[in-house]
Structure 1
Amino acid sequence: MNSSDHYESLVSLFDKQLEFAQNLQRKIIPSPGSFVSNHYHFYSYLRPFRKVGGDFFDFHFLDNEKISLIITDATGHGIDAAMITSMVKLSYSYTMKDSRINQSPSLILKQIESDICQQMDNTFFTAIAIVLDPKAGVLYFANAGHPDAILLKSNRQVELLKPNLPMLGLQQFMTTMHYFDMRINFSKGDKLLLFTDGLIDAKNPNREEFSMERVISVINKNADSPINLIGSHIIDACVDFKQDQAPSDDICILGIEVDD
Structure 2
Amino acid sequence: MNNSDHYESLVSLFDKQLEFAQNLQKKIIPSPGSFVSDHYHFYSYLRPFRKVGGDFYDFHFMDNGKISLLIADATGHGIDAAMITSMIKLSYSYTMKDNRINQSPSLVLKQIESDISQQMDNTFFTAIALVFDPLEDILYFANAGHPDAVLLKASHKIELLKPNLPMLGLQQFMTTMHYFDMRINFSRGDKLLLFTDGLIDAKNPDREEFSMERVLSVIKKNADSPINLIGSHIIDACVDFKREQAPSDDICILGIEVDD
Q: Same fold (TM over 0.5)?
A: yes
SS at match of 1:122: coil
Using the TM superposition, give the Cα deviation of residue 258 of structure 1 relative to its aligned residue in structure 2, in angstroms.
Answer: 1.5
2:255 maps to what in 1? 255
Instruction: Spell out, residue by residue over 1:126-182, the C-alpha distance to the aligned partner (whole angstroms, 9 max, x if none).
Output: 000001112112111000000000000010000000000000000011111110001
Trace 1:11-50 onto structure 2 (pairs within 5 A).
11-50=11-50
Once the two structures are TM-superposed, the CA of residue 65 in structure 1 deviates from its matched residue by: 2.7
Q: Secondary structure at the match of 1:220?
A: helix
Question: Counterparts of 1:74 and 1:31 in 2: how far apart (Å)?
Answer: 20
Which secondary structure does the structure 1 equivalent of 2:53 belong to?
coil
Alignment of 1:183-222 (within 5 A): 183-222=183-222
What pairs up with 1:77-96 in 2 under 5 angstroms?
A: 77-96=77-96
TM-score, normalised with respect to structure 1 = 0.99
- Counterpart of 1:146 in structure 2 is 146
**SS across alignment from 1:98:** coil
Matched, 1:225 2:219: no
CA distance in 2, matches of 1:216, 1:3: 53
CA-CA distance at 1:63 after TM superposition = 3.1
SS at match of 1:30: coil
Q: For residue 183 of structure 1, give the secondary structure of its aligned residue in structure 2.
A: strand
Asked if the contact 2:186/2:258 (under 8 Å) is kept, the reply is no
Contact 1:39 1:65 in 2 (8 A): no
Paired residue secondary structure (1:208): coil
Which secondary structure state, in structure 2, belongs to the residue aligned with residue 85 of structure 1?
A: helix
Q: CA RMSD in A?
A: 0.7
Unpaired segments of 5 or more residues in structure 1? none
Could you state the TM-score of these two structures normalised by the residue count of structure 2? 0.99
Instruction: Count residues with an aligned counterpart.
Output: 260
Hey, what does 1:171 align to over in structure 2?
A: 171
- Tell me which amino acid in the other structure corresponds to 2:13: L
Q: Percent same amino acid at aligned positions? A: 88
Q: Give the drift of 1:40.
A: 1.1
Query: In 1, are the aligned partners of 2:149 and 2:162 still within 8 Å (CA)?
Result: yes
Note the C-alpha offset of 1:36.
1.7
| 5+ residue gaps, structure 2 | none
